[in-house]
């Protein structure tokens, strides 16, 4: 069931009217459904219930403390990629024992912070990183629990910017070098080899490439055991896709059914790093139409949200459905328009050549499926304050991030 639906002719998030919210918090604003977030997380817990597992929510998708604390209370861990994300995860109440640190460029300071917090595991992405982590851990007199991120060289069949498991990508250690790298790691006194890790890409709409990659990682784990290197955890990464338009990604159950046989056989704790499939369809970007404009060659709808608020259409050519908040708007005549923001770039669009029911100045619109990689990728370009974020729970809401002020925007700067 969708948590964004029409009730009494108005689009609502759970039981809260988006029109009413716009009046209180203004636009643009991100609106999240708590029930949808919890449902996304519960889908994984249910599908993987037969094996020991930890769902390490990928913080980069949506790192709002309100969102993360809801997930933390429901048992989520975190997949982090920076010291900043570690800070947020701990502030949101996520247990360090459920935090894994991924990423291709961890600094020494970030390593120290994570070792101090005693996180579950570091996913190491190169042999040079292994050496540095070993040094840092020895300096601190501790051992860093590690997995190597293996690049399994499979084609995830997704947008090239978010495919990470191909040989040509910057991520991970090539599959055929992994064994030797593990043997090095096992000899380093500052490290403790505990896991194996992979992540092949994002917005995956087929489970088969993930299953192929898992098979490669499980084969590696067996080879390591023959060399007395015991792997207790396999991190299968994130990446499960969502429906933006007409995609048909696997359900949690379908995903688990394909992956579980090999993982069960390996006898490991399964770690997962989902982001988009938890937060993506749990959020929308609420915006108001500022102007209409017809240049003769094209019709434009100018809205108060822009590429600084939601960059996915500009950056990836991504599709986000657009719904009128007033249900009556759906019955109006259809027309083809570009939906654009106020930013001074032609690349600033939220939808291009989109067939929409006619919209009028001052109409409220919802840009759907914006809960993941929406606010998290927002910027202050054109000195635009970042939008407010609201979390809805039934018939109540909380402003989990207030709209930025002009003062926020210049804080930390020094005029000379």
Which residues have a catalytic role annotated? 344
Tell me the backbone φ, ψ of residue 4, rounded to 5 degrees. -120, 105
By beta-carbon proximity to ligand LLP, the closer residue of 74 and 409 is: 74
Window 19 to 48, contacts with ligand LLP (CB under 6 A): none
DSSP state of 206: -
Q: Are 22 and 364 a contacting pair, CB within 8 Å?
A: yes
Residue 373 in the binding site for ligand LLP (CB under 6 A): yes
Q: How far apart are CA 212 and CA 262, in angstroms?
A: 10
Site string for ligand LLP, 330-369 (x = CB under 6 A): ----------------------------------------
By beta-carbon proximity to ligand LLP, the closer residue of 81 and 286 is: 81
Q: Work out how close the CB of 330 gets to ligand LLP at its nearest, in angstroms, rounded to a whole number.
A: 27
By beta-carbon proximity to ligand LLP, the closer residue of 59 and 185 is: 59
SS3 332: coil
298 to 69, 295, 335: CA distances (angstroms): 45, 5, 11
By beta-carbon proximity to ligand LLP, the closer residue of 162 and 409 is: 162
Positive or negative: CA dihedral 80, 118, 71, 172: positive
SS3 327: helix
DSSP state of 412: T
By beta-carbon proximity to ligand LLP, the closer residue of 175 and 312 is: 312
Give the binding range for ligand LLP (CB under 6 A) out of 63-71, 196-204, 287-295, 322-330. 196-204
By beta-carbon proximity to ligand LLP, the closer residue of 160 and 261 is: 160
Q: How far apart are CA 266 and CA 224, in angstroms?
A: 12
Q: How far apart are CA 275 and CA 217, in angstroms?
A: 22
- Per CB under 6 A, the list member of 199, 216, 354, 386 interacting with ligand LLP is 199
Q: Which helix (H) or strand (E) holds 32?
A: strand 29-33
Q: Work out how close the CB of 312 gets to ligand LLP at its nearest, in angstroms, rounded to a whole number.
A: 5
Q: Are 111 and 88 a contacting pair, CB within 8 Å?
A: no
Residue 312 in the binding site for ligand LLP (CB under 6 A): yes
Q: Are 285 and 308 a contacting pair, CB within 8 Å?
A: no
CA 356 remoteness from chain centre: 28
- Per CB under 6 A, the list member of 33, 64, 203, 369 interacting with ligand LLP is 203
SS3 2: coil
Residue 202 in the binding site for ligand LLP (CB under 6 A): yes
Q: Work out how close the CB of 377 gets to ligand LLP at its nearest, in angstroms, rounded to a whole number.
A: 6
Window 159 to 178, contacts with ligand LLP (CB under 6 A): 162
The DSSP code sequence of 91-158 is HTT--GGGEEE--S---HHHHHHHHHHT-SEEEE-SHHHHHHHHHHHHHHT--EEEEEEEE------S
Q: Are 272 and 55 a contacting pair, CB within 8 Å?
A: yes
The two structure tokens encoding residue 284: 């929308």
Window 246 to 275, contacts with ligand LLP (CB under 6 A): 273-275
Site string for ligand LLP, 92-131 (x = CB under 6 A): ----------x-----------------------------
Site string for ligand LLP, 66-85 (x = CB under 6 A): -------------x------
Q: Are 378 and 342 a contacting pair, CB within 8 Å?
A: no
Give the binding range for ligand LLP (CB under 6 A) out of 37-45, 82-90, 205-213, 238-246. 238-246
Q: Work out how close the CB of 121 gets to ligand LLP at its nearest, in angstroms, rounded to a whole number.
A: 12
To 5 degrees, how large is the angle CA 133–CA 230–CA 113? 25
Residue 239 in the binding site for ligand LLP (CB under 6 A): yes
Binding-site size for ligand LLP (CB under 6 A) equals 21
Give the binding range for ligand LLP (CB under 6 A) out of 213-221, 236-244, 297-305, 337-345. 236-244
Residue 134 in the binding site for ligand LLP (CB under 6 A): no
Other C-beta atoms closer than 10 Å to the C-beta of 74 total 15
Residue 277 in the binding site for ligand LLP (CB under 6 A): yes
Residue 64 in the binding site for ligand LLP (CB under 6 A): no
Residue 151 in the binding site for ligand LLP (CB under 6 A): no
Binding site for ligand LLP (CB under 6 A): 58, 61, 79, 102, 162, 199, 202-203, 237-240, 273-277, 312, 316, 372-373
């Amino acid at each position: 069931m969708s948590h964004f639906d029409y009730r009494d002719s108005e689009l609502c998030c759970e039981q809260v009217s988006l029109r009413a919210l716009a009046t209180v918090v203004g636009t643009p604003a991100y609106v999240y459904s708590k029930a949808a977030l919890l449902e996304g997380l519960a889908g994984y817990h249910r599908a993987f219930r037969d094996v020991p597992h930890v769902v390490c929510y990928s913080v980069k998708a949506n790192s709002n403390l309100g969102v993360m604390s809801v997930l933390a209370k429901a048992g989520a861990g975190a997949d982090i990629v920076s010291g900043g994300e570690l800070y947020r995860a701990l502030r949101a109440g996520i247990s360090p024992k459920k935090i894994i640190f991924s990423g291709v460029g961890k600094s020494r300071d970030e390593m120290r912070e994570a070792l101090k917090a005693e996180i579950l595991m570091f996913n190491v992405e190169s042999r040079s990183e292994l050496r540095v982590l070993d040094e840092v851990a020895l300096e601190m007199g501790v051992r860093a629990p590690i997995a190597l991120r293996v690049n399994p060289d499979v084609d995830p069949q997704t947008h090239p910017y978010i495919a990470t498991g191909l040989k040509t990508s910057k991520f991970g250690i090539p599959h055929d070098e992994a064994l030797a790298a593990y043997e090095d790691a096992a000899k380093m006194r500052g490290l403790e080899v505990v896991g194996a890790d992979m992540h092949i890409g994002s917005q995956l709409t087929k489970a088969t490439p993930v299953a192929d990659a898992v098979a490669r990682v499980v084969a590696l784990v067996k080879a390591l055991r023959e060399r007395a290197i015991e792997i207790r955890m396999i991190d299968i990464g994130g990446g499960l896709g969502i429906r933006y338009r007409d995609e048909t990604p696997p359900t949690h159950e379908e995903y688990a059914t394909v992956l579980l046989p090999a993982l069960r056989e390996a006898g490991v704790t399964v770690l997962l790093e989902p982001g988009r499939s938890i937060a993506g369809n749990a959020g929308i970007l609420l915006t108001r139409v500022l102007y209409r404009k017809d240049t003769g060659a094209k019709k434009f709808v100018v809205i108060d949200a822009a590429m600084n608020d939601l960059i996915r259409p500009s950056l990836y050519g991504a599709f986000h459905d657009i719904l009128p908040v007033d249900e009556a708007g759906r019955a109006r005549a259809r027309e083809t328009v570009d939906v654009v923001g106020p930013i001074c770039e032609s690349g600033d669009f939220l939808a291009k050549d989109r067939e929409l029911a006619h919209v009028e100045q001052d109409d409220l619109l919802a840009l759907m499926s914006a809960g993941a990689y929406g606010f998290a990728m927002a910027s202050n370009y054109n000195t635009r304050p970042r939008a407010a974020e609201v979390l809805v729970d039934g018939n109540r809401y909380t402003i989990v991030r207030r709209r930025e002020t002009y003062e926020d925007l210049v804080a930390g700067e020094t005029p000379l």
